[in-house]
């Protein structure tokens, strides 16, 4: 959520941000209209209350009939105005949740992924002296992936991981968790069935509500909860309503959790295999730091560095992309996607996502820290350290051998317990 004073002072800037993110910029005009209406009503209500308090104080000394009548009239005015104020404040607050964050200077303006800008790349694309397979064929031939039965049991985008794929799935995640913990992050397994407030606090709602799975307790709307598509959702709300001392910052978390996404907006895209699926495991880093953009930028680069170290140690080729306004999401100020080369796809696929949120989330969640002069909202950042099974696509396809086997990168061997995956019949 943006500061209303910022919106008042910079309406055109906020409108352009909404427009460049593909949203209706009219919401800014509506916010300002209800803001003015709200302020006018607050002024009226406060004036009436002050006048009534003055009269009531006089009535304590002298029960003058004229004063009694005036007090009754003022009470009636309050009863008329206060519901209007509550309704106006609700409309104002709902609209404020629909105003996106403002991109940082230097973020390219674009409608979609075609507007993203490559920052750097690292590693070598694998070269094969044979016709390489994609991860689907590798999974079937090695009996480590079953999509047909996955679809039969779970429906669209369902899958079964089997045999050594299961050990790789958990092994690569454990390796990444150890890596991130060594960087000073506190590991957390958070709840993934969350209240609506947690999704609002993180900025996922209202925009992303159609992407979330819903669940009811006792079939009551008031008991509605949602399955989180990232542990960023519960981790942002972990300290909701709390006040820190400046010396407590930065606070670093690594959330390890299953994630659930409906993928409503991606029908027709990546329909084969395990690239775009409904459920997966993910390690999400969340940083709470001082309200200082220079510090946030430093953390943004650190998070990218940690993610790149993982891919470098895994021996995978990747590139870092600066996301344009139309492909970065509503809450972000600046965002990198780290895309890993997947030979079977013949293209890069997103494996990490690193974002600066500024105080957009902390205003929603009311997370502050004390300074010498006042209390300020923290800045938040988040990054996907690793997600599986998507990363398995790059690993299987990059490390496939001519005999159909898959070699395990050295860094992972202690975590999975074997050096390669071979066909059971030796072919």
**Run of H or E residues at 225:** strand 225-227
Q: Phi and psi at residue 244, in whole multiples of 5°?
A: -105, 165
Q: How far is CA 164 from CA 4, 206, 330, in A?
A: 53, 40, 39
Report the length, in residues, of the chain.
427
Radius of gyration of the chain (CA): 27
Q: Find the angle CA(116)-CA(119)-CA(124) to the nearest 5 degrees.
A: 110
Q: Tokens for 218? A: 């006792």
Give the closest residue to 263 by CA, choosing from 275, 274, 278, 280: 278
Residue 261 annotated to the active site? yes
- Which residue in 38, 52, 157, 261 is the catalytic one? 261
Query: Is residue 300 within 8 Å of residue 316, measured between CB atoms?
Result: no
Query: Is residue 12 within 8 Å of residue 25, measured between CB atoms?
Result: no
The residue with tokens 């002050």 is 50
> Coil, helix or strand for 10?
coil
- Which residue in 38, 52, 276, 364 is the catalytic one? 276
- Which residue in 71, 257, 353, 355 is the catalytic one? 353
- Which residue in 30, 211, 242, 350 is the catalytic one? 350
Residue 151 annotated to the active site? no
Query: Is residue 189 within 8 Å of residue 254, measured between CB atoms?
Result: no
243-245 and 368-370 as β-strands: parallel, antiparallel, unpaired?
parallel
Residue 413 annotated to the active site? no
Q: Tokens for 48? A: 């009436």
- Which residue in 339, 390, 397, 405 is the catalytic one? 390
Helical H segments across 182-220, by residue range: 196-202
Residue 8 annotated to the active site? no
Q: Phi and psi at residue 269, in whole multiples of 5°?
A: -110, 130
Q: Phi and psi at residue 340, in whole multiples of 5°?
A: -105, 140
Residue 350 annotated to the active site? yes
DSSP-assigned letter for residue 410: G
Listed in sequence order, the residues at least 6 apart from 381 whose beta carbon sits closer than 8 Å to its beta carbon are 285, 286, 287, 289, 296, 299, 300, 303, 354, 355, 356, 357
Catalytic annotation, residues: 261, 276, 350, 353, 390
């Amino acid at each position: 959520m943006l500061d209303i004073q910022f919106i008042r002072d910079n309406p055109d800037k906020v409108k352009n941000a909404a427009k460049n993110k593909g949203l209706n910029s009219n919401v800014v005009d509506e916010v300002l209209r209800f803001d003015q209406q709200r302020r006018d009503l607050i002024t009226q209500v406060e004036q009436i209350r002050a006048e009534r308090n003055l009269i009531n104080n006089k009535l304590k000394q002298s029960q003058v009939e004229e004063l009694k009548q005036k007090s009754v009239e003022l009470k009636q005015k309050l009863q008329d105005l206060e519901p209007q104020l509550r309704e106006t404040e609700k409309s104002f607050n709902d609209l404020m949740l629909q105003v996106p964050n403002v991109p940082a200077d230097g973020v390219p303006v674009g409608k979609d992924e075609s507007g993203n800008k490559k920052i750097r790349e690292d590693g070598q694309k694998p070269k094969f002296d044979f016709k390489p397979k994609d991860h689907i064929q590798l999974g079937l031939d090695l009996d480590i992936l079953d999509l047909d039965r996955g679809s039969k049991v779970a429906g669209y985008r369902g899958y079964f991981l089997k045999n050594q794929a299961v050990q790789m799935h958990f092994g690569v995640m454990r390796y990444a968790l150890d890596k991130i913990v060594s960087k000073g992050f506190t590991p957390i397994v958070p709840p993934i069935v969350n209240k609506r407030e947690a999704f609002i606090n993180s900025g996922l709602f209202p925009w992303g509500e159609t992407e979330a799975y819903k669940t009811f307790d006792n079939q009551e709307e008031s008991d509605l909860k949602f399955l989180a598509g990232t542990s960023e959702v519960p981790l942002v709300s972990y300290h909701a309503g709390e006040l820190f001392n400046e010396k407590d910052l930065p606070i670093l978390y690594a959330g390890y959790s299953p994630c659930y996404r409906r993928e409503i907006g991606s029908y027709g895209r990546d329909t084969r295999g395990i690239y775009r699926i409904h459920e997966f495991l993910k390690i999400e880093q969340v940083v709470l730091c001082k309200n200082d953009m220079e510090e946030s930028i430093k953390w943004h680069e650190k998070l990218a560095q940690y993610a790149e170290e993982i891919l470098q140690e895994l021996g995978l080729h990747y590139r870092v992309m600066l996301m344009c306004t139309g492909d970065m999401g509503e809450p972000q100020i600046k965002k990198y996607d780290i895309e890993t080369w997947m030979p079977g796809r013949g293209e890069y696929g997103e494996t990490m996502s690193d974002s600066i949120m500024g105080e957009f989330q902390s205003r929603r969640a009311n997370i502050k820290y004390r300074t010498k002069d006042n209390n300020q909202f923290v800045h938040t950042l988040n990054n996907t350290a690793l997600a599986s099974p998507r990363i398995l696509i790059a690993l299987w396809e990059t490390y496939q051998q001519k005999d159909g086997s898959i070699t395990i990168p050295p860094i992972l061997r202690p975590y999975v317990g074997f050096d390669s995956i071979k066909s059971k019949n030796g072919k």
